Amino acid sequence: MSVQPQPQPWPEPAPEIAAAIRAMYSGKREVPLPVRVRDQLGELFADDQFAVGFGQRGKPGWSPGRLALVTVLQKAENLTDRQAADQVRADLGWKYALGLALADAGFDHTVLSEFRSRVVTHGVEERVLDLLLAALVDKGLLAAGGKQRTDSTHVIAAVRDLNRLELAGEAVRAALEALSAAAPHWVAQVLEVSNWSRRYARRIDTWRLPTSQTKKDQLALDYGRDGFTLLKAVYAPTSPAWLREVPAVQTLRIVLVQNYTRTVGGNGREVVKRREKDSEGGDGLPPGSMRLTSPYDTDARWSAKRDTFWNGYKLHISETCATAADDAARTAPAPSGKSPAGAPHKPKPDRAPRRPNLITNVATTASTLPDSKALEDIHQSQQRRGLLPDEHSTPATLPPS
């Protein structure tokens, strides 16, 4: 997908669409969100704010600024990419917000996925929030100071939940698949492929594991031995050095270190054992903040908050907040009596009506990071936006209700 060599301003809403909107939503009917966004905020996301992530040559493509607004509206209405693309084609409110002609055919739904990938790749994923907050500041709805609060919620990783046994087996299988794709001839030379294929042809979590604990323990040791055998072959002096850099191989290495020990017995034979919890800090498992939970997402972690237990990440959301006492202070009349000039005091008008609570920052962290530990980075982001609060609270610091 490419953009025009010179970013273009958004066209004004087509006259026939604007007339239809006025006719359909006259009187007390609530105007749709896309129409209100365009009327109140105008060209919210200018193309040049996203130009770094898009080519300057080739056939002109869809406006990245308008794709950013489509992404926001898509999230607000909980739509899939295909549904959002259909809305662009068929919904008058969306056409009004985007400045599209009535007969505009929109775009293929896959454009949205590519847009998001480019935004993340080029590090402009916060640009949408930055531009929105700047517009709200200009309208007097947001300012530095005051009170803010930050709370977190869970984000589930897009991987299957695996127990320790499944994780060990799947890590071996993932490394074997990656090596078979990258160096099939090498795999055929160093491994007895038929035996390995019987155990690792299918995902570990797709077949029934043994019910006996003894058989489970034995299978766990088999996975560990197979993993160390595979790594020994990869790190052999005669093997290509680049095989060690395959990501799945590095992941397998970490999984084995975290879940197994390998020693040499008195008879000179290698002994592989599973790590178990050890109150004395011996060969126990690493802390949850370090322990891998999936060979396909090495940043996901198991965590718990209150009654929620999940595998993934933590999303910290900061917002402005005003208490009933703040509202009372805004509207309180001046003290009774007379002014120095002898004139009686009049109640002060509410010159600062209560602002809505607005989100000022969104941050994704490891699921094991305590909420209070995320505040330093959050404050840096808020300072960059000129929205640093006077008071900032997390659930741990909030007074009891």
- What is 40-106 written as a DSSP string? HHSS-S-GGGSGGGSBSSSS----HHHHHHHHHHHHHTT--HHHHHHHHHH-HHHHHHHT--TT---
Q: Please tell me the distance from the alpha carbon of residue 174 to that of residue 223, in angstroms, as a whole number.
A: 12
Q: Please tell me the distance from the alpha carbon of residue 134 to that of residue 107, in angstroms, as a whole number.
A: 29
State whether the Cα torsion 395-397-398-400 is positive or negative: positive
178: left (phi over 0), alpha (psi -120 to 50) or beta: alpha
**Are the C-beta atoms of residues 52 and 118 closer than 8 Å to each other?**
no
Mean model confidence pLDDT for the chain:
86
pTM of the complete model: 0.79
99-126 pLDDT tens trace = 999 999 999 999 999 999 999 999 888 9
Domain spans of the chain, in order of start: 15-138, 142-157+300-328+351-401, 164-274
Q: What is the DSSP letter of 293?
A: -
Q: What is the pLDDT of residue 293?
A: 95
**Are the C-beta atoms of residues 288 and 303 closer than 8 Å to each other?**
yes
Proportion of the chain in helix, strand, coil states, percent, rounded to 5: 45, 15, 40
Q: Please tell me the distance from the alpha carbon of residue 88 to that of residue 86, in angstroms, as a whole number.
A: 5
Q: What is the pLDDT of residue 270?
A: 84
- Which stretches within 99-212 are classed as H helix? 110-121, 127-138, 164-182, 184-190, 193-200
**Are the C-beta atoms of residues 241 and 186 closer than 8 Å to each other?**
no
Q: What is the pLDDT of residue 401?
A: 39
304-348 pLDDT tens trace = 988 899 999 999 999 998 655 555 554 555 455 444 444 454 444
The distance from CA 32 to its chain's CA centroid, rounded to whole angstroms, is 28
**Low-confidence stretches of the chain (pLDDT beneath 70):** 1-6, 53, 55-60, 278-283, 322-354, 396-401
Q: What is the pLDDT of residue 225?
A: 94
Q: What is the pLDDT of residue 340?
A: 45
Query: How many angstroms separate the most distant Cα atoms in the chain?
Result: 105
Q: What is the pLDDT of residue 136?
A: 93
Q: Please tell me the distance from the alpha carbon of residue 56 to that of residue 52, in angstroms, as a whole number.
A: 9
Q: How many CB atoms lie within 10 A of CB 92?
A: 20
**Are the C-beta atoms of residues 362 and 350 closer than 8 Å to each other?**
no
Q: How many CA atoms lie within 13 A of 358 on its CB side?
A: 20
373-384 core/surface letters (b: 16 or more CB in 10 A; e: else): ebbeebbebbee
Q: What is the pLDDT of residue 10?
A: 87
Contacts of 12 (CB under 8 A, 6+ apart): 99
